[in-house]
Amino acid sequence: QVQLVESGGGLVQAGDSLRLSCAASGRTFRSYAMGWFRQAPGKEREFVAAISWNGGRTYYADSVKGRFTISRDNAKNTVYLSMNSLKPEETGVYYCATWLRGNYDDTEGYDYWGQGTQVTVSS
């Protein structure tokens, strides 16, 4: 079993940057590919980024390519999401999750989820 705890969210202005962290418990963390999703009020959870177990492959939603970077430190059992040039429409709760199967952008393929961290981008 894996427990995930996100942190690093907050209130920022449009154009600002944030780095989110997702700390995982359990020895098997390094064997999991990981993903970040976000959910705005009244909307479905949407894919943001994913990373393979060793960091060798990364995947991004088109809307964040070139601005967001996903990375991981398996020695620290942590995955990160660095976000630059944030936009007001990117406000929402950001979740990390363990990716087990299927398409990297499909929530159905993810197993363990954290509780989320709120990101609010003001205009």
How much is the pLDDT for 1? 82
Q: Confidence class of residue 26 from pLDDT cuts 50, 70 and 90?
A: confident
**Residue % of the chain over a pLDDT of 90:** 93
The answer to whether residues 50 and 105 touch, using CB atoms and an 8 Å cutoff, is: yes
Which pLDDT score, from 0 to 100, does residue 28 have? 83
* Encoded tokens for 44: 């479905």
User: How many angstroms separate the CA atoms of 43 and 8, rounded?
Assistant: 22
> Given a cut of 80, is residue 27 above it in pLDDT?
no
pLDDT digits (tens, 9 = 90+) for 56-111: 999 999 999 999 999 999 999 999 999 999 999 999 999 999 999 999 999 999 99
